[in-house]
Each structure stands twice: as structure tokens, then as C-alpha cells.
A and B are shown apart, each in its own frame.
Chain A
Amino acid sequence: MPLFLRLLDWTSLMLFRLACLLVAAIVVVVTYDVTSRNLGLPTAVWAVNSVEYAMLYITFLCLPHLVLTKGHVCVEVLLTYLPKGLRRIWENALQIVSALICFYLTWHTASSFFRVLADGSYEVRSFDAPMWAVYLSMPIGFGIGGLQFLSFFARNDSFFGAPPDAHAGM
């Protein structure tokens, strides 16, 4: 496998593992929150907002790995009725369109990220979170996700036609 594909897959996997760590962290933080409140231990005032930001990060950190493992949901009724040759062309076109959407969103989310980084704005919740940290995961997720859509050409594979368990999370 070419080096850039290995690097892309490795990056996607690392981002996904980071998302897994965040899921584990949510479990720990919420469990501590409910335990501390009921046992009269010092409560974590940052717990709620940390969980909220973690969920935002999970959404976009998982995106590239879900593209790689064909885990995003799509309606494949039309594809199943297309003749084999036309289906291949159709799938290729859809992969290019999907990549273009991802890159378009990468461009705009990255613009938002750099704008809030420059003006140094903060989001005020139970603790002040810099806005760049709120936006950070979006361009990363969309950007690498878009590259993963294009990588199917290099792999001579297709995003479509995944087995049902790819969507079931099993």
C-alpha cells in the first residue's frame, strides 16, 4: 500500500482512537458526577460542559474512520438496480461529490477556526473555552474524511456496498 494511504489510514485510526478515549472519559466523568453528588463528595462543576465538548469532538474525529470502514449511512436502493458497469461509474461520481462536499466544508470550517483564533474569542459556559478549540475538530474531520473518500480510487475499492454490520456498530 502506498505510503500516503498508510499515513491517511493511520491518522484516521488515531483520530478514531482519540474519539474512543473521549467516550471512555464521558463514562468516567458522568459516573463520577452522579456518584459525587449522591455521596456528598466534591462535585465536578466542569463535568457537564466537558461532556458536551467531548461529544462534539467525537462527532468529527470519527468521521474519517467511518468513511474508511464504510460506516456512514446511505440509501443504496438505486445502486442495487444499476447494471454493474453503470453502478461503478455512479459510485465513483458519488465518491467525488462526497469528497467535494467534505472539502467545501473543510474550507469554511477552517476559515471559521482561523477567524476565531485570530480574534481570541471565548465561549462562556461553566468554564471559558476558547472558540478555536470548539471549531478545531471540524476541519480535521471533514478534511481527512474527504481524502478518505478519494482514497477509494487508489484502493480500487468503493465506499458503497458495505455489509450491514458496518452500520450496526457490532
Chain B
Amino acid sequence: MMDWTLSIAILIGGLLFSMGIGLPVALGFFVINVIGVFLFMGGARGIDQMIANATLAVSTYSLAPVPLFLVMGSLFFHSGLARRVLDAIDVLIGRLPARLSYLTVTSGTVFAALSGSSLANTGMLGTLMVPEMMKRGYKKHMAIGPILGSGGLAVIIPPSTLAVLFGSLAQIDIGGLLVAGLLPGLILACLYALLIFVQAKVDPEAAPTYDYEPLPVSLRIKVFCRDILPMAVIILAVVGSILTGFATPTESGALGIVAVALLALIFKALDMEAITTAIADAARVTGMTFLLITASSTFAQLWPSRAPLRAWSAGPPRWRWGRPKPFWSWRSSCWFSACSWTRSR
């Protein structure tokens, strides 16, 4: 029987090695799965079991929000609604030092709540904002920093595709997890804005002020009511429906698509090209993500087969080289034991 430390070294080390040499991540997982199955699950018979498990990994209804949120986000970007929101926020922000950085953070936060895809969010902000900020003489950290920060907010703020994946894999309440991300996401956005404020104070040259004629307040209110306020329908359809218990996360994804499609229709921005592009984008990202889930969930099933974590947590402390066991090692053993005990309850 192979020592658990060796099995961990083979599984984790092999995975890191296959990724490190540049093998596509999903295929790297499959390689280690095959090796692991041969070592720990009885060879060729284990491969059949691995394939059977792979079919179950993604045929789980809890993963259904993933393609739905992706279609919703992609339709939001490709129909031109995102551009409309960005232009409206641009008008609303007015004259401020580092206004384009603030615009990026505000738009990123709003897009996060309306799309759920951090990739699309970051891509859109990067494409639209970086050339403009560079043209205005912004330093790189003031241009790219807000994009990377606020682009990633879609991972936290609902509807987060990543939260759905995590909730499904960890088998925890996806609706609760989605809603739990709302406040931390907003706090992060505020902290980004605070950081921009401090940076602009410390180094005004990092984000040079430029001439900007703000619109009258009445016109700004009109822009807000026309271009921003209607987007609340999408947030209501997705987050509101989960919060009130009207819909499950999967159903909220479908409601979100309907809301985006209706808004795009009202703004005369819905055409066949936007729909087909949105679906193709969603299919591409879903295919890529689900293959990773298929491979990684099979990888995860190799662990209980050798019970390395259980051995790690429950096994008696051993120090192979005969030196006294350090305090941090004892603490981590206790922590793992506690986790193991809690999970087994």
C-alpha cells in the first residue's frame, strides 16, 4: 500500500508538472487521472469508472446557471446595452480628478451586477477604457489597475458564474452564496474608489485632469432615468428573484436573459447577430469550463480512494527525520483534524 505522502506527491506534483510544461489544463488533469486510476483504482477497470464519473460531473442541474448567466452577460455586451450604460455613467460622473479611473470602477461594478462574467467585464473595460486613458496621459497603474480590480468584481457580485461553479462543486447553497457576494463586492468597489482618490491626491500627474464640460443636472437626471434606471430590471430579475425566493439560481439566469432581451428590444438593440454571438460565446466558455470540471472532479474522486487527507488529519504526528515537531505543524494537524471531524458530522 502506497504511503499517502507519495500519493499526494504523485497527484499534486504530476498536476503541477503537466500544467507547468504547458499542457492544456483539462488534458493535464486527465493525464493525472489516468495515472492515478492505474495506481489507486485497479487499472483499466478504474478507467471505465472514471469515464462513468465524468458523465455525471457536468450533467448536474446545479451547473445550469453557468450557460444561462454567460448568455445573459454576453447578450448584455453584444447588444450594446453595456456601451449605453458606460456612456451614461460617463455623463453622470462629471468633472473629477482621475475621472476615467472612477468611471472604470463604477462601470465595472455595474457590469458585474448585470453580466456575471469577469472575463467579458475585463475585456470590455480594457478595450474601451485603456486607449482613452493612455491618450489622456494616465499612468499605467491608474489605467490598468482599476480595470483589473473592477473587472474581477463579477467573480464576487451576483450573478457570479464562478460562485455557481464553486457552489455546485462544494455542494453548498448556490443562491445563498450568490447573495453573500453582494456586500463584499460593493465594499471592494468602494475601496477601489478610495484607492484612486488617494493615488490622485498623492500623485496628480498619474491621472491628469482634462477639460470636461459637465451637463446640467436636469440633463443628467434624464440620462440616469433613461439609460441606467431600466437596468435595475436585470438586477431585480436575477438577484431580486433569488433573494425573495421567487426563483432558483437556474431560473434567475433564465429570467435575467429575458430581462436583458426585453431591454435590448426596447432600446432597439436586439438583432440576430447579437443573439447568435451571445449564444456562441456562452457555448465556447461553457465547453471550456465544463471540460475542466469534468477532468477536475474525477481528479477529486481519486483523493478519497487513497484517503490521503484523512490520513493527514487523523494520523499520528510523525516526524521522519527525528527532529521535534514544530508548533505550526501541530496546529495545522489539529486544524485539518477539526475540518475532517466537522465534515464527517
User: How many angstroms between the C-alpha atoms of A85 and B34 in the bound complex?
Assistant: 31
Determine the chain B residues whose CB is within 8 A of the CB of A91 once the complex forms: 22
Task: Mark out the residues of chain A between 43 and 71 whose CB falls within 8 Å of any chain B CB in the assembled complex.
Answer: 48, 51-53, 55-56, 58-63, 65-66, 69, 71
Q: Which residues of B contact A167 (CB under 8 A)?
A: 119, 288
Q: Would you call A8 an interface residue if the criterion is a C-beta within 8 Å of the partner chain's C-beta atoms?
A: no
Are A19 and B281 in contact, with the CB atoms below 8 A? no
Residues from chain A with a CB closer than 8 A to the CB of B285 are 168-169
Q: What chain A residues lie within 8 Å of B339 (beta carbons)?
A: none
B283 with A20: CB separation less than 8 A = yes
Q: Tell me if B257 counts as interface (CB < 8 A to partner A).
A: yes
Known contacts A61-B287, A62-B288; A30 and B22 CB within 8 A of each other: no
Question: Does B291 lie at the interface of the complex (its beta carbon under 8 Å from any beta carbon of A)?
Answer: yes
- Determine the chain A residues whose CB is within 8 A of the CB of B282 once the complex forms: 23, 169
Q: How far is the CA of A53 from the CA of B64 in the complex (A)?
A: 11
Please tell me if the beta carbons of A52 and B60 are within 8 angstroms of each other in the complex. yes
- For the residues of A in contact with B, the DSSP-based class is helix
Q: Is B333 an interface position by the 8 A CB rule? A: no
Taking A16-B280, A26-B68, A134-B55 as known contacts, 15 extra A-B pairs with beta carbons closer than 8 A to each other, sorted by chain A number, are A20-B276, A27-B257, A51-B61, A55-B60, A55-B290, A59-B294, A62-B287, A62-B291, A71-B284, A91-B22, A98-B24, A108-B51, A138-B55, A169-B117, A169-B282
Within 8 A of B (CB), among A135-154: 135, 138
- Cross-chain pairs A/B with CB under 8 angstroms, 9 sampled: A55-B60, A55-B63, A55-B67, A59-B290, A72-B24, A72-B288, A108-B51, A135-B51, A168-B122
Q: By the criterion CB–CB under 8 Å, are A34 and B23 in contact?
A: no
**Contact assessment for A55 and B64 in the assembled complex, using a CB-CB cutoff below 8 Å:** yes
Interface size range on B against A: 35 or more
Whether, in the assembled complex, B30 has its beta carbon less than 8 Å from a beta carbon of chain A, the answer is: yes
- CB-CB contacts of B118-153 with A at 8 A, as 1s and 0s? 011011100000000000000000000000000000
Give, as a whole number of angstroms, the nearest-CB distance from A111 to chain B: 8
Instruction: Pick from B59, B250, B279 the residue with the most CB of A within 10 Å.
Output: B59
Does A73 make an interface contact (CB < 8 A)?
A: yes
Whole-angstrom CA separation of A108 from B284 in the bound complex: 25
> 10 tightest A-B contacts by CB?
A62-B287, A169-B285, A59-B290, A34-B251, A52-B59, A30-B254, A168-B119, A72-B24, A31-B254, A56-B59
Q: Which residues of A contact B30 (CB under 8 A)?
A: 101, 105
Question: Using Cβ atoms and an 8 Å threshold, which residues of chain A touch B91?
Answer: none
The answer, yes or no, to whether A76 is at the interface (CB within 8 Å) is yes
Task: Return the chain A residue nearest B25 by Cβ.
Answer: A73
List residues of chain B with CB within 8 A of the CB of A34.
247, 251, 254-255
Cβ–Cβ contact A78 & B287, under 8 A: no
C-alpha spacing A37/B235, complex, angstroms: 22
Interface flag for B230 (CB, 8 Å): no
Q: Does chain A have a CB within 8 A of B337?
A: no
Interface flags, A64-108, vs B, CB<8A=1, else 0: 011001011111111100000000001100100110011011001
Q: Are B279's CB and A76's CB within 8 A?
A: no
Chain B: minimal CB distance from A82 (Å): 9
- The verdict on A1 contacting chain B, using a C-beta distance below 8 Å, is no
- Whether A62 pairs with B64 at a CB distance below 8 angstroms is no
**Closest CB-CB distance, B83 to chain A, in whole Å?**
14
Q: Which of B24, B59, B64 contacts A26 (CB 8 A)?
A: B64
Q: Does B286 contact A (CB under 8 A)?
A: yes
Chain B residues 7 to 41 lying within 8 A of chain A, measured CB to CB, are 19-27, 30-31, 34
> Given that A34-B247, A34-B251 are contacting pairs, would A58 and B283 also be in contact in the complex, using a CB cutoff of 8 Å?
yes
Contact A33 B251 (CB under 8 A): yes
A66-B284, A108-B51 known; A169-B61 Cβ under 8 A: no
Q: Whose C-beta in chain B lies nearest to the C-beta of A93? A: B21
